[in-house]
Copies of this chain bind each other. A is one copy, B any other.
Amino acid sequence: MTAPAAGRPEGYDPYAFEPFAVTVDLAVFTVRDERLHVLLVERGQEPFRGAWALPGGFVLPQESAEQAARRELAEETGLLPRTVAGLHLEQLRTYSDPDRDPRMRVVSVAYTALVPDLPEPRGGGDAARARWTPYGTDGPLAFDHERILADAHERIGAKLEYTCLATAFCPPEFTLGELRQVYETVWGVALDRPNFRRKVLTTPGFVEAVEGPPRRTGGRGKPAALYRAGAASALHPPLLRPEGRSS
C-alpha cells in the first residue's frame, strides 16, 4: 500500500528489502505397531534447544522447495536418495506468520510424507537426535510445528477418503488387513472387515492381487492373500470415514 514493495519493485534489487528466509518442514508419517508415528528431531541449537521439532531446513539457492524437502528427508532418515525419490511427498501449505521464528522472517513450506515402516533414523545432519514418535504423545514442539503437524494429520486423513494414498504406508506387497490398519490408525476408528474388503476389491485399480497366491503368516489368524498397489490414484466413489465430518 505505502511501502516500496507494494508492487513489483522497479529494479528488483535483491538487497533492497529485508530478506526472507525460506525453509521446508516435513511431517513424515508411518504406521508402526498399529500406531501412527511421526518423525521428530531434537534441536541442537537455540532457540528451542533440546525441544523436539519437525525435520527441515533451508531451501538452497538453486533448488526448489520440493527438492529441498527430499534432500532433508534423506539426510534426517539416512535413506538413500534413490529411495527417497520414490516416496510419496506432498506439499501441505506454507506458513508465513511474521513472528513464527523469533530471530528473523522465515517463511516455511511444509510437506507431508507417507512412508512404510522404516528402520530407526540415525539423527543425521544438524539434528541432535531423530526418532519415530507416536502421534499425539509428542510434547509441545518447537516453533509452530504443533500446528503444522495437526494440519498434516487432518490432510492425510481426508486424502485417505478419496485417494489410494493408503498404499504409500504399506510395503510393496501387503495384505488387506495391513491396508485396513492404515485407515484405522490414521482415522482412529475400527472398520468393518468384510465391508472394507468389498470396497477395496470393487474399486478398479486400487489394489491388484499378487499372482501365485502366496500368503503371509503375519501372526495368528488365517493367512491372507497379498496385493500390490494398483494403477489408480483416486477413489470413485470415495471411501468415507464413519461419522461423516472431515477433520
Whether B245 contacts A240 by the Cβ 8 Å rule is no
Would you list which residues of chain A between 48 and 70 have a CB under 8 Å from chain B? 57-66
Query: Are A107 and B22 in contact (CB-based, < 8 A)?
Result: yes
Q: A20–B17 contact, CB under 8 A?
A: no
Interface size of A by CB at 8 A reads 52
Q: Which residues of B contact A126 (CB under 8 A)?
A: 6-8
The contact of A22 among B20, B93, B238, by CB within 8 Å, is: B20
The DSSP consensus for interface residues of chain A is loop
How distant is A235 from chain B, measured CB to nearest CB, in Å?
10
CA–CA, A18 and B21, complex, Å? 9
- Kindly report which residue of chain B lies nearest to residue A234, judged by CB atoms: B246
Once A3-B60, A6-B58 are accepted as A-B contacts, the answer to whether A245 and B236 lie under 8 Å apart by CB is yes
Interface-forming stretch among A98-106, A184-192, A220-228? A98-106
Contacts of A64 in B (CB 8 A): 96-98
A11 closest partner in B (C-beta): B103
What is the interface of chain A, defined by CB distance below 8 A to chain B?
Answer: 1, 3, 5-10, 12, 14-15, 17-22, 45, 57-66, 71, 75, 91, 93-94, 96-98, 103-105, 107, 109, 125-126, 162, 234, 236-238, 240, 244-246
Between-chain CB contacts (< 8 Å), 14 pairs: A1-B71, A1-B75, A5-B60, A6-B71, A6-B75, A6-B125, A7-B125, A14-B21, A22-B96, A59-B96, A91-B94, A162-B162, A234-B246, A236-B245
